[in-house]
Chain A
Amino acid sequence: MTTTTQPRGRRDAQATASDYRPGPDGLLLEVDDLHVEFHTEDGVARAINGVNFDLHAGETLAILGESGSGKSVTAQAIMGILDMPPAKIPRGAIRYCGQDLLTMPDEQRRKTRGPEISMIFQDALSSLNPVFPVGWQIAEMFRKHRGMNKSDATAQAVRLMERVQIPAAKQRVRAFPHQFSGGMRQRIMIAMAIALDPAVLIADEPTTALDVTVQAQIMALLAELQEERQMGLILITHDLGVVADVADRIAVMYCGRIMERADVLELYRRPAHPYTLGLLESIPRLDQKGQELSAIGGLPPNLLRLPSGCEFHPRCRFVQDVCRRDRPELTAVVGAAPGRESACHFSEEVHRG
């Protein structure tokens, strides 16, 4: 974990002074007891049920979880791009440099999107507008946030396209998204997201739609940009392999809650939550070739009717009566390295192995 005391470096010549200053230890983002519900015809789906985490400059936090665990909703709540309604945030705070984004006036919050907090999405083809040239879409950031004229903004777009290693950027600035390969499109998304030099970058499954070799290139690029700009990076993924390479810390999500939080190596070495354990065991391994692949039995519960007690208990192999009755809070794991937290009645036992 990085706890740099240096102020967030604004490295770009074009960068204007930000109104936001990170905390003394580089604290950028604090998510505090965040709840998100979706009001549907069938009832209230509780997508996020009390998520807490923080993010420092230069740090990579991975949020890991299967589909429907609330990873993307968390990201979109931070960005403020959830459709409300049907979504509702009944409780919680998202503080960026000490200021609560949720209580901020809409117009002030809008201006944080791009220059302060930025996001890249999973499917770059559908996330880029098909009818505008890619250069135009990158340049739009400079034109709308910085009031730059068209030619200066386009020059900036070319510079960014070169930075994310798009070959022949100058010629391709006028090309349309469908004229690029999947990897190149994701690079354009990244260029657009880092255009205004944000302090926080959220990457929502940035490599899921890409093939493995391209995945590695994109992750390397993200890591490089993060290092260069000292961004706080939130990496949302379900891919344990991706996480191991780049993340500093991991938060494992299940049913809209963080089940376990740890430094990346610690977590891989000795999981302290049965869900994490199940996830790690489900990774195919070469030395177990021919054996049946281990998987977590059952399905995630319906968010409209969450189970009593611990959300994971219907699928848990260590389940006891107490798990059906009481919901365990996310607390420090006894006997583990500092900073390790798990929401399990038996975290100590699981951690011991």
Chain B
Amino acid sequence: MGKYVIRRLLQMIPVVLGTTFIIYAMVFALPGDPTAGKCGDRGCPPAVVAEIREQYNLDDPVPVAYVKYLGKLATGDLGENTYGIPVTQDLAQRYAITGKLALMAIAIEAVIGILAGVLAAIRKGSFLDSLILVSTLVVISVPVFVIGVLAQFYFGVRLGWFPVTVTSRNPSMYQLLMPAIVLASLSMAYVTRLTRTNLAENLRADYVRTAKAKGLTQRRAIGLHALRNSMIPVVTFMGYDFGALLGGAIVTERIFNIQGIGGYIFQSINHRDGFAVVGAVTALVIVYLIVNLVVDLLYGVLDPRISHD
């Protein structure tokens, strides 16, 4: 186990180096002058241009500049964005919001998705099952920007149950609730279907028959013996989904004006804000790799047949 974790952590080094280099090259080696348009229509004075070129190492070849960047990265310094704000400070602020939103979304999809999946599985073929199947199909087939805008209009504008947009830089859970539901909706549908399929299959498993033959209650035979086995793929899916959610949700963030990480990257790319993009993506890659490692470890805990030796 310990060896496995160390091996996986070591494997992350080339992945992080590779992805950061690619993103760095893509931002800085592409044609076009990164200093252009920074000072409006009249262009920047030569002194300012020189300062920017110095700050971003633009006069060095890309590999050299990248190594210099890495050197600073190793000390935790991600540089400053074009507004002179340290990228680390930006990321900390944005990640607080994205993290909160992701946690809420994953909680919503877990609770509602698993519950709906279990209900559909134990009443397979019933009206309720069909209803759940059709509604999840609708959610899967409708794009998130449609769901988002519709939810915003009906529950925000018409009914006034939720704030229409998030106005705070430090939003409360209530403010984030509707965006979190919208964000969770697609994965919730997948979790429902995954739970339903797996549980329905496991209900026919021999060990469930054994559980009944042991004189256990129906509740325990299904709710513990069958469900525990059915949760293996579901939890794995939710783990990877959590990783994806931590990467930000550009569409949902824009609809509800949430200052999350997705919007930050989008904005920075638009402004050719090099250090902001590279810094944010590096953080994203590391978070995603760590979440993946945790999911893989969790998989071994959930299914003892998988060993990490």
Question: A residues near B, CB below 8 A?
Answer: 79, 81, 110-115, 118-119, 121, 123, 126-132, 140-141, 144-145, 176, 178, 189, 192
Contacts A130-B305, A131-B228, A131-B304; is A145 near B209 (CB within 8 Å)?
no
Chain B: minimal CB distance from A273 (Å): 31
A126 to B204, CA, bound (A): 11
A185 to B213, CA, bound (A): 17
B59: interface (CB < 8 Å): no
CB-CB under 8 A from A189, the residues of chain B are 210
**Which bracket fits the contact residues of B?**
20 to 34
B302: interface (CB < 8 Å): yes
- Contact at B304–A121, with CB atoms within 8 Å? no
CB-CB under 8 A from A119, the residues of chain B are 213
Contacts A111-B215, A114-B214, A140-B216; is A130 near B303 (CB within 8 Å)?
yes
- Contact at B206–A126, with CB atoms within 8 Å? yes
* Given A121-B209, A130-B207, A144-B220; 12 other pairs, CB 8 A cutoff: A110-B216, A126-B205, A127-B209, A128-B210, A129-B229, A130-B303, A130-B305, A131-B232, A131-B302, A131-B304, A144-B215, A178-B305
Chain A: minimal CB distance from B224 (Å): 9
- Contact at A131–B209, with CB atoms within 8 Å? no
CB-CB under 8 A from A111, the residues of chain B are 215
Binary interface encoding of chain B residues 293-304 relative to chain A, with 1 for a CB under 8 A from any of its CBs, else 0: 000000000111
Q: Is the interface of B mostly helix, strand, loop or mixed?
A: helix
- Contact at B220–A131, with CB atoms within 8 Å? no
- Contact at A114–B304, with CB atoms within 8 Å? no
CB-CB under 8 A from A127, the residues of chain B are 206-207, 209-210
**20 contacting pairs across A/B (C-beta < 8 A):** A79-B212, A79-B213, A110-B216, A113-B214, A114-B213, A114-B214, A114-B215, A126-B205, A126-B207, A127-B210, A128-B210, A129-B207, A129-B210, A130-B207, A130-B229, A131-B303, A141-B214, A145-B215, A178-B305, A192-B210
Contacts A126-B206, A131-B229; is A140 near B214 (CB within 8 Å)?
yes
B254: interface (CB < 8 Å): no
A136 to B151, CA, bound (A): 47
B283: interface (CB < 8 Å): no
Chain A: minimal CB distance from B222 (Å): 13
A75 to B168, CA, bound (A): 66
Nearest residue, chain B, Cβ from A83: B204
CB-CB under 8 A from B302, the residues of chain A are 131
- Contact at B215–A176, with CB atoms within 8 Å? no
Chain A: minimal CB distance from B206 (Å): 4
Chain A: minimal CB distance from B83 (Å): 52
CB-CB under 8 A from B209, the residues of chain A are 81, 121, 127
A118 to B210, CA, bound (A): 10
Question: B residues near A, CB below 8 A?
Answer: 205-207, 209-217, 220, 225, 228-229, 232, 302-305
From the candidates B212, B216, B305, name the one contacting A176 in the complex (CB within 8 A).
Answer: B305
CB-CB under 8 A from A145, the residues of chain B are 215
Nearest residue, chain A, Cβ from B229: A131
A189 to B207, CA, bound (A): 11
From the candidates B207, B216, B217, B303, name the one contacting A128 in the complex (CB within 8 A).
Answer: B207
- Contact at B211–A144, with CB atoms within 8 Å? no
From the candidates A81, A112, A144, A176, name the one contacting B304 in the complex (CB within 8 A).
Answer: A176
CB-CB under 8 A from B213, the residues of chain A are 79, 81, 113-114, 118-119, 121
A42 to B215, CA, bound (A): 33
CB-CB under 8 A from A178, the residues of chain B are 304-305
Nearest residue, chain A, Cβ from B226: A129
- Contact at B207–A144, with CB atoms within 8 Å? no
A150 to B304, CA, bound (A): 21
CB-CB under 8 A from A128, the residues of chain B are 207, 210
CB-CB under 8 A from B214, the residues of chain A are 113-114, 140-141, 144, 192
Nearest residue, chain B, Cβ from A115: B215
CB-CB under 8 A from A141, the residues of chain B are 214-215
Chain A: minimal CB distance from B101 (Å): 32
Contacts A127-B210, A129-B207, A130-B229; is A110 near B215 (CB within 8 Å)?
yes
CB-CB under 8 A from A112, the residues of chain B are 215
A186 to B246, CA, bound (A): 47
From the candidates B215, B225, B232, name the one contacting A129 in the complex (CB within 8 A).
Answer: B225
Nearest residue, chain A, Cβ from B301: A131
